[in-house]
Amino acid sequence: MSIAGRNVVITGATGDIGLAVTSRLLAQGAHVFAVDLNSETLEKLRHDSSGNGVLETHVADVTDAAQVREYANRAYSLWGPIDGFVNNAGIQTPVRPIVEFPEDDFDRVIAVNVRGVFLGMKYVLPHMRDGGSVVNMSSALGVVGGAGIVAYVASKHAIIGMTKTAALEQGSRGIRVNAAAPGPIAGKMTFKLAEEVFAGTSKSFAETVPLGRHGTPEDVAGLVMYLLSDDSSYATGTTHAVDGGFTTA
């Protein structure tokens, strides 16, 4: 699955999953345009990165249309048509049942996870090469419910709907649009959620999946690399689980 020399834009590039994907892309010689809200972690990425690829970093808030247009334009003007887009930035909130869920938290999650993914496709797709590939980061919680995290669940279901819609619209250009659906991945997001969900117990999400362990960011990166590459050339509009069997039961 050669990705060398391809131009790939990734949002949320300095999070746990974003870093694993970015590292893998750089190791394989891709040109990576790494977008994140956090300028310090982008600076650290610039400092720490290695591999044959080329890295460019860009600070942007994926909820802001002008900033999204700017990162898409900049990536295109640097390297020309974009081959791959990993629409990955996302957030979670404190756990509350729907009847107590703060409206502000709901709006914030929808802004990043739904509006951010929509804006990303809106402004990156016109700069993509025909035959390119988009990977939208959904979740296992995009196909099942999750008590206490209504906004996150709603947002990740919405990403799957947007993925199918974009696949229908972009098929004539040969652009494939798929969703990745990770289960509990060892990292900040999962561990913070576990602190609340399993408070006062020694349980972890590892026990909730058939494979009996957390996934790793590298597990997700493997799937993303496949979806970006020509190995998945007949897959579009689909949702690919990388969840240790979490959604099997």
**Chain positions contacting ligand NAD, by CB under 6 A:** 11-12, 14-18, 36-38, 41, 61-63, 88-91, 112, 116, 137, 139, 182, 184-185, 187-190
Strand, coil or helix: 86 = strand
User: Nearer Cβ to ligand NAD, position 31 or 214?
Assistant: 214
Chain centre distance of CA 86: 6
- In the complex, least distance from residue 94 CB atom to ligand NAD, rounded to whole angstroms: 14
User: Nearer Cβ to ligand NAD, position 171 or 217?
Assistant: 217
Question: Is-contact 163 125, C-beta < 8 A?
Answer: no
- In the complex, least distance from residue 130 CB atom to ligand NAD, rounded to whole angstroms: 27
User: Nearer Cβ to ligand NAD, position 32 or 91?
Assistant: 91
Give the Cα separation of 205 and 211 in Å (integer). Answer: 11
Give the Cα separation of 247 and 80 in Å (integer). Answer: 39
- In the complex, least distance from residue 111 CB atom to ligand NAD, rounded to whole angstroms: 8
Number of CB atoms found within 10 A of residue 115's CB: 19
User: Nearer Cβ to ligand NAD, position 11 or 93?
Assistant: 11
Instruction: Enter the DSSP assignment of 113.
Output: I
Q: How far apart are the first and last CA of the chain?
A: 32
Give the Cα separation of 128 and 133 in Å (integer). Answer: 9
- In the complex, least distance from residue 218 CB atom to ligand NAD, rounded to whole angstroms: 12
152 is catalytic: yes
Q: Give the helix ranges, DSSP H, for 4-115.
A: 16-27, 39-48, 65-79, 103-110
Cα distances (Å, whole numbers) of residue 102 to 24, 105, 237, 248: 38, 5, 32, 31
Q: Which of 71, 123, 152, 226 is catalytic?
A: 152
Instruction: Outline where DSSP puts E strands in 120-192.
Output: 128-137, 176-182
- In the complex, least distance from residue 187 CB atom to ligand NAD, rounded to whole angstroms: 5
- In the complex, least distance from residue 46 CB atom to ligand NAD, rounded to whole angstroms: 14
Give the Cα separation of 172 and 102 in Å (integer). Answer: 42
User: Nearer Cβ to ligand NAD, position 27 or 111?
Assistant: 111
Q: And the tokens for 48?
A: 């720490």
By Cβ distance, which residue is nearest to ligand NAD?
15
Active site residues: 152
